[in-house]
Amino acid sequence: MKSDRLLSILLLLQTRGQVPARELADRLEVSVRTIYRDIEALSASGVPVYAERGRHGGIALLPGFRTDVTGLTQDESRALFILAAQGAHAALGLDAALGSALRKVMAALPERHRPAAELTSRRILVDSARWMVGARVAGPAAVDLDVLQDAVFADRRLRLRYLHSGDAEPSTYTVDPYGLVSKAGVWYLVADRRGVPRLFRADRVRSATRTDAPVKRRPGVELADIWGVLKRQVEDRPVGVEVTARVSRDRFALFVRINGHRLAARPEDDGESEWIAVRLGYGVVGEVRTLLPFADAVEVFAPPEAREELARAAAAVTELYGTRPGAGIGSARR
């Protein structure tokens, strides 16, 4: 998030004085060119920042300049406190550092913005990692996220009409929301139903109504706690069928975009062969038919029943198009 990066640059320069552009780029995991663009943006917004060229140069603020971040609006303050999933920071050993940084920023916020920022950190969570297996790309949301967000921040119960995968009609639930989670770009409502944690995909919510009843959350339980439990339940779910296959290198990028959620392990790529080996997870054998659009760019090796399923599907297509002439639209209507 650019606003987060600009604030990080500003705070680093305040605490460190002159900092080389390369060091800023490494700390913030962006290119040096991006750092210089950010410096131009800060300068354009009135921050007295300058770059000094040469071996011992760097980027610095004019002496005497300080900021207490009081120029942030309420929405900007809330945006800074949308937490990333804990695992993203734990993997780098930065969980404690993240908490410390947020406390410092919270102390610098205008007093009137602190309650909203603190509440946002407990109600919205972003997890950028893809699901290991089984999650599908989100369709268009039937309900505006603002409706769900409104109930989450108002601490009120929600009445949902929710369409489960494979069901023809939606089911109705009254739930106690803990917050919203964005998982790899797909939004979920995390809530208790009768005291049991549940995960509701936003694009499957057909209608949502905020009730007047106050939310009933379990004491001491936070959004991040429930999300950790629910995520493990999804990712630890046993795969019904594991398929071994190979994918043509020239179609591999498209294959991953469409089937990346099915990958059960890291693809095996020697960097030279025209084929890349993959392992895929499916609930049932029949789901391997989703590989048919790739035709001969994907070859399945195992299990045998997966090969047989694809062979039957291909034979049916061949019979439909290859052994008899098309009947025409008029015939189809009759």
Amino acid type, 310: L
Burial of 257 (0-12, 13-18, 19+ CB in 10 A): exposed
**Among 67, 101, 121, which residue terminates a domain?**
67
As a whole number of angstroms, the distance between CA 277 and CA 249 comes to 10
* Residue 327 domain-assigned (yes or no): no
**Per the structure, how many domains does the chain have?**
3
**What local confidence, expressed as pLDDT, does residue 326 receive?**
57
Residue 52 to residue 303: CA distance in whole angstroms: 62
Question: pLDDT tens track of the chain, all 334 residues?
Answer: 566 678 778 877 877 778 888 888 888 888 888 888 888 888 887 788 888 877 777 888 887 776 655 555 666 656 666 654 444 455 445 556 666 666 666 666 666 766 776 677 677 776 666 665 444 444 455 566 778 888 888 889 999 999 886 678 889 999 999 988 888 778 889 999 988 899 898 888 898 899 999 999 998 888 888 888 888 777 666 567 889 999 999 999 888 878 777 787 788 888 888 999 998 888 788 888 989 889 889 999 999 999 999 999 988 888 888 766 655 545 544 4
Residue showing tokens 């300068």:
43
pLDDT at 236: 65
For residue 233 the two structure tokens come to 């339940």
Could you tell me the residue range of the domain that residue 250 belongs to? 241-322
**Together in a domain, 161 and 225:** yes
For tokens 């019979």, what's the residue? Answer: 319
263 bridge partner residues: 280
Q: Which residues touch 8 (CB under 8 Å, ≥6 apart)?
A: 27, 28
Q: Are residues 149 and 230 in the same domain?
A: yes
Q: What is the pLDDT of residue 83?
A: 54
- Distance from first CA to last CA of the chain, Å, rounded? 57
Structure tokens at 281: 């997870």
What are the E-state strand segments in 90-170?
124-127, 156-162
296 and 221 in a common domain: no
Amino acid at position 58, single letter? G
- 93-141 pLDDT, tens per residue? 555 666 666 666 666 666 676 677 667 767 777 666 666 544 444 445 5
Whether 252 and 271 share a structural domain: yes
Report the C-alpha gap between 1 and 281 in whole angstroms. 33
CATH number, domain with residue 55: 1.10.10.10
pLDDT for the residue 118: 67
Q: How far is CA 173 from the centre of its chain?
A: 25
Residues in the chain, how many? 334
Q: Give yes or no: residues 273 and 253 share one domain.
A: yes
The pLDDT of residue 136 is 47
Q: Are residues 9 and 32 in the same domain?
A: yes
Last residue of a domain, one of 235, 260, 291: 235
Q: What is the pLDDT of residue 213?
A: 92
The string of pLDDT tens digits covering residues 31-60 is 888 888 888 888 887 788 888 877 777 888
pLDDT for 128 equals 60
Name residues whose C-beta falls within 8 Å of residue 285's C-beta, 6 or more positions apart in sequence: 241, 303, 305, 306, 309
pLDDT at 108: 63
Q: Is there a single domain that holds both residue 160 and residue 184?
A: yes
